[in-house]
């Protein structure tokens, strides 16, 4: 007798079968992830300098705005990465 988990996994597999990625697609996704991490780090460093300057001036409002801007930019970059991942997966074994 199958567990509820096994039955749920079977139903999920029927609805959305797992996509087998080629080595090239895996490499492409890894490169996209690496590039996104680099862009996030770059933005974090740029805004850190701005936040440090605001901290020296004790300007909490500027610090909060810089932090909010960083979070929004990070979220946008991550959403863009996920969209690109989906596009690669949608291609399936095709290139």
Classify residue 27: in a domain, yes or no: yes
**pLDDT for position 95:** 46
Residue-wise pLDDT tens digits, 65-84: 888 999 999 999 999 999 99
User: Based on the number of CB atoms within 10 Å of its own CB, is 94 exposed (0-12), middle (13-18) or buried (19 or more)?
Assistant: exposed
CB 50 within 8 Å of CB 62: yes
> What confidence score (pLDDT) does residue 31 get?
96
**Is residue 63 in some structural domain?**
yes
Structure tokens at 8: 């749920």
pLDDT at 66: 87
Domain containing residue 75: 21-90
Does residue 11 fall inside a structural domain? Answer: no
Top pLDDT among 30 and 3 is at 30
With respect to residue 10, please indicate whether it lies within any of the assigned structural domains: no
Counting the structural domains of the chain, the total is 1
Instruction: Give residue-wise pLDDT tens across range 29-67.
Output: 999 999 999 999 999 998 888 888 888 888 888 888 888
Q: What is the pTM of this model?
A: 0.69
Q: How many CB atoms lie within 10 A of CB 41?
A: 10
The reply to whether 71 falls in a domain is: yes
């Amino acid at each position: 007798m199958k567990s509820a988990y096994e039955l749920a996994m079977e139903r999920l597999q029927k609805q959305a079968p797992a996509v087998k990625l080629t080595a090239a697609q895996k490499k492409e996704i890894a490169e996209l992830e690496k590039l996104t991490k680099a862009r996030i780090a770059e933005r974090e460093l740029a805004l850190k300098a701005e936040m440090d300057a605001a901290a020296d001036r004790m300007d909490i409002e500027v610090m909060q705005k810089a932090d909010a801007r960083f979070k929004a930019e990070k979220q946008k970059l991550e959403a863009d990465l996920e969209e690109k991942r989906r596009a690669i997966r949608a291609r399936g074994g095709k290139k």
